[in-house]
Structure 1
Amino acid sequence: MTRIVAYRFKVVLFGATSSPYLLNQTMQYHLDSQSSRLASTLKTSFYIDNFQRCYVDPRDILCERPLIQALMLKANMPLAIWTTNAPLNSNFTEIGIHDYLSLEWDTVNDTLNVKLPPELEISHSHINTKRKVMSLISSFYDPIGLIFPLTILGKLFIQKLWMTDKGWDTPIDPEQVQELTDIIKRYKGLEQIKVPRNVHDGSQPAMHIFADASNLTFGLAVYIVTQEGNSRLLTAKARVSPKCMLEIDESLTFPKLELTALLLGCRLAKHLSELCPGIYASVTVWFDASTTLQWVHNSKSNSLYVLNRVEEIINIKLTCNLNLRHIPANSNPVDLASRGVTVRHIIENKFWLQGPPWLSPYITELEQGDPDALMTPDLPDPPSEDPLNDDSSDDVAPLPRPDFVSSRGQQMIKPVPSRKCC
């Protein structure tokens, strides 16, 4: 009888489903065992195997780097490939374009952009089965949600494809191939979308969250507006609704979906406020459902579904001092997901990357208004014209590029642990 020999990994396997969790717990355990202020700070500075942190003074980078290296070396996790947008010349990689959480980070201009999957750079004619479609759509890694009006189209296509009950390797119909081809064409020039990493200049900005829902998707978009009136996209989230929600549950009406979107927006506002306490001068959640507004305002409904969500929205509103505001649907940038935008439109039109043009003038008026009011009567209504029809391509004055700080902040370093520690 052949003797069975057992082999055991002596390091965490890189690439397994459980690897990110095991790596994170290992680092958290190591940092918890270190009784230093630096170790406590590093607990919130890692994303998988990437370390990132923002500094006010670039000289602090040079002072802390050997301390961070020594701290992580105690766990046999040496940090390598240090990158920064600060003007430093001390064993950092050369300035230019670097990989950053599967995005491209231009350290010269301090911008981020989503990379085009290699499959699309060569050819997509071979993508004709469910397995290959899933692989292609999943290759668009956009953790911040910079291009979700584009990526959501692929997710909706997967949902539609899933309803056909085709096998993983069964060729899809010619109509579906053509639909996929049309979606892929929208990704042309994706690498040209450049988003500033630094969204504010260090002063207390205002945070504006837009929420929207349909029977297909839930969407959120967060904009940071500085005291000078400059607006930039911070992050965006999108979720595909369960197929035919309105048809499966007759009691689940469209206003209830809008209420769910508003709740998700309030939860995101709470998360960002707790992540950076004291940073934002005001936090406002915008939505375009008047029925939802009345539910939250009156707190009266015969539906338990509505009452539970209204209760949580009100609790978040009171604890985080949120402002809830109503806008027309065509002034909601999240609505772009259902309109079929292209890369060219996102680049040339400021609506997605900078928010509605009327957003900045609202800051002063909102801060002077009653924070407990759901709607302030004396505020002028946002313009009703469709911003998508605005063909203006005039550039907005760019944000001043300060020398240092953060929340995607100012001077930033990014060391990456070597693969052998994963």
Structure 2
Amino acid sequence: MELEHTRVVFGVTTSPFLANRTLKELVKDEGAKYPLAARALNEQTFVDDILTGAKSKSEVLELKNQLIDLMKAGGFNLGKWASSNNDVVGDLTESLELPIGNSKSITKVLGMFWDKAEDTFQYEVNDVNEPATKRGILSRVARTYDINGYLSPFTFLLKSMIQKLWLLKIDWDDPLPDDLHEMWVLIKSQLLLLEEIKFPRYMCGAEISPCMLIGFSGASIMGMAAVIYLRVKSEGNYMVHLVASKTRVAPLKTLTFPKLELGAACLSSRLMNATIEALKSFINLADIFCFADSSSVLGWLKTPPYKLKTFISNRVVQIHENVPDVRWSYVPGKFNPADPANALLAVEALIDNEELVAVKALVAVQPLKALEALIAVEA
């Protein structure tokens, strides 16, 4: 006797795939009738959240109606609506997203909190009473969900602590060594400061003009980091926004510093490739720059791979495959925004970092010319 499910079952191994495959099939069958909704389901859906928008209120209302009709065609009813414009969800009062805490304007989105009134993303920290043990630190790492890497300097600090604890072979509930205990106490004392960090949800300004992606990579003996900025022109002014960042702790097998820098460049190329894929259908991308603070890495990138040793050659090939049309240039280390991401920065430094503010001002002007000027000054 064979039995067949007539519903998408929750809790089994295949559930996430089946839920997403069901939506893909719905778009395939009915999407031609609802083009705006089909695009949102195909490109702007994360698990069971549809994160989408449009340039004007009228377009958003049309998108909303198409989403409702398309999902109904498959027997689905959308709930928990939220928007930065109250008129968009005014007729959906029974299915609005529940507010968070005492604020009626804050909604949880992918581990972050969206303040609809200010249209910004922010973080909320609860329960800072984890014990000073490996189990407590790992619990904090697991609960710090930072999908875009906005908190990379902070999360890198936690990851480096975990690596040290594993190297010391400390048991799960054993007390920490004095140096790590002091670091953990400092981190806990500053956790609530994360709530002061805010990032704009919308980055393109009033009019969508040709945009520029600017990537930086950097490394230290502790690890590697990459950061991507979006530069846009709006109403005659240039704005620069942090799009994403990634960090990796250094491997246990000791690598030379130039090889760590090459690993950071490879990490930057992968992050840039993912960013381009995510944004290419929504923005007019005019140019792409990548910067590194290692002259060795830039020399390797200009060398035919067959002339390089295997370790270096493989990564150079990966970089060129990930970002084939990108111009790589040098940036002095003190002006490299990827460096703080792999340094052991306190949360206070993450909130108010004067060097990062200076870098954002520089890339808002003209990245290559501004940094070439800096190089001349450094020389």
Match of 2:77 in 1: 78
Deviation for aligned residue 1:9: 11
Counterpart of 2:118 (choices 109, 127, 130) is 109
Question: What amino acid maps onto 1:107 in structure 2?
Answer: K
Match of 1:3 in 2: none
Counterpart of 2:197 (choices 193, 204, 209) is 193
Compute the TM-score of the two structures, normalised by the length of structure 1.
Answer: 0.75
Contact 1:218 1:240 in 2 (8 A): yes
Deviation for aligned residue 1:275: 2.8
Match of 2:315 in 1: 309
Q: What is the identity percentage for the equivalent residue pairs of Structure 1 and Structure 2?
A: 25
How far apart, CA to CA, are the structure 1 residues paired with 2:153 and 2:59?
39
- Taking structure 1 as reference, are residues 315 and 162 closer, same or farther at Cα in structure 2, changes over 3 Å only? closer
Deviation for aligned residue 1:353: 6.8
> Deviations 1:193-240 (Å, cap 9, x if unpaired)?
111111222111211111112332221111112232221111111122
Match of 1:234 in 2: 243
- Taking structure 1 as reference, are residues 344 and 133 closer, same or farther at Cα in structure 2, changes over 3 Å only? closer
Say which is worse superposed, 86-95 or 216-225, in terms of deviation: 86-95
Deviation for aligned residue 1:306: 1.4
Contact 2:156 2:344 in 1 (8 A): no
How far apart, CA to CA, are the structure 2 residues paired with 1:339 and 1:383?
26
Question: What amino acid maps onto 2:238 in structure 1?
Answer: G
- What 5-or-longer segments of structure 2 have no aligned partner? none
Deviation for aligned residue 1:338: 4.0
Question: What amino acid maps onto 2:362 in structure 1?
Answer: W
Contact 2:211 2:284 in 1 (8 A): yes
Contact 1:266 1:317 in 2 (8 A): yes
Larger helix share, 1 or 2 = 2
Match of 1:254 in 2: 257
How far apart, CA to CA, are the structure 2 residues paired with 1:135 and 1:154?
10
> Deviations 1:163-210 (Å, cap 9, x if unpaired)?
232333444445543332122233231111111111222111211111
Contact 1:148 1:337 in 2 (8 A): yes
- Taking structure 1 as reference, are residues 264 and 72 closer, same or farther at Cα in structure 2, changes over 3 Å only? same
How far apart, CA to CA, are the structure 2 residues paired with 1:265 and 1:183?
27
How far apart, CA to CA, are the structure 2 residues paired with 1:44 and 1:20?
16
> Deviations 1:398-419 (Å, cap 9, x if unpaired)?
xxxxxxxxxxxxxxxxxxxxxx
Q: Are 2:135 and 1:131 equivalent residues in the alignment?
A: yes
- Taking structure 1 as reference, are residues 41 and 49 closer, same or farther at Cα in structure 2, changes over 3 Å only? closer
- Taking structure 1 as reference, are residues 91 and 334 closer, same or farther at Cα in structure 2, changes over 3 Å only? same
Counterpart of 2:30 (choices 29, 34, 37) is 34
How far apart, CA to CA, are the structure 1 residues paired with 2:377 and 2:175?
45
Give the match's secondary structure for 1:43: helix
Deviation for aligned residue 1:384: 6.8
Give the match's secondary structure for 2:192: coil
Give the match's secondary structure for 1:198: coil
Contact 1:223 1:232 in 2 (8 A): yes
Q: Are 2:288 and 1:288 equivalent residues in the alignment?
A: no
How far apart, CA to CA, are the structure 2 residues paired with 1:195 and 1:72?
31
Match of 1:402 in 2: none
- Taking structure 1 as reference, are residues 307 and 364 closer, same or farther at Cα in structure 2, changes over 3 Å only? closer
How far apart, CA to CA, are the structure 1 residues paired with 2:75 and 2:331?
53
Contact 2:246 2:271 in 1 (8 A): no
Say how many residue pairs are matched: 354
> Deviations 1:125-154 (Å, cap 9, x if unpaired)?
xx1332232112211111111111111111
How far apart, CA to CA, are the structure 1 residues paired with 2:361 and 2:249?
28
Match of 1:24 in 2: 20
